[in-house]
Amino acid sequence: MFKGFREFIMRGNVLDLAVAVVIGAAFGKIVTSLVSDILMPPLGLAVKNVDFTNLFLDLSGGHYATLAQAKAAGDATIAYGSFLNNVIDFLIVAFAIYFVIQGANRMKHAPAPADPTTKECQFCRTTIPIAATRCPNCTSNL
């Protein structure tokens, strides 16, 4: 039983997936910090000192200064500011992954097409070796 499990775990694609998940989680934390700590404060300043995390709609009719106060009071809220942060976070992650994939694709060199070994006879349109000087089918000089 353990031998089969060990063989399953040691397969290349399982290990690659595990590494990708760990690196992806770490990358996600970096991007989240980039969005919330670096990008959102200047963006909030540009739109009149608005902190997106405190943008919310109180469905209970109360008037609270922050989302935390509304949640502490137990009021139903729609936290669209947090949603905006998450959308921006997603777009940055998608943008970064796009560039990583583009870079990886550029590193892969497509194999050069092989030199042709045959050509078409201009008279009878049959396929003949490229070095032929006379067509074996119609006997024309090429």
pLDDT digits (tens, 9 = 90+) for 64-83: 888 888 888 888 889 888 88
Which has more confidence, 8 or 74?
74
Q: What is the Cα 15 distance to its own chain's centre? A: 20
Rounded to whole angstroms, the Cα distance separating 26 from 89 reads: 14
Mean pLDDT of 124-137: 90
Domain chopping of the chain, boundaries: 2-110, 114-142
Q: Which helix (H) or strand (E) holds 119?
A: strand 118-120
- HSE (side-chain half, CA atoms, 13 Å) at 116: 8
pTM of the model: 0.50
| CATH architecture type of domain 2-110 | Orthogonal Bundle (1.10)
pLDDT digits (tens, 9 = 90+) for 58-69: 888 888 888 888
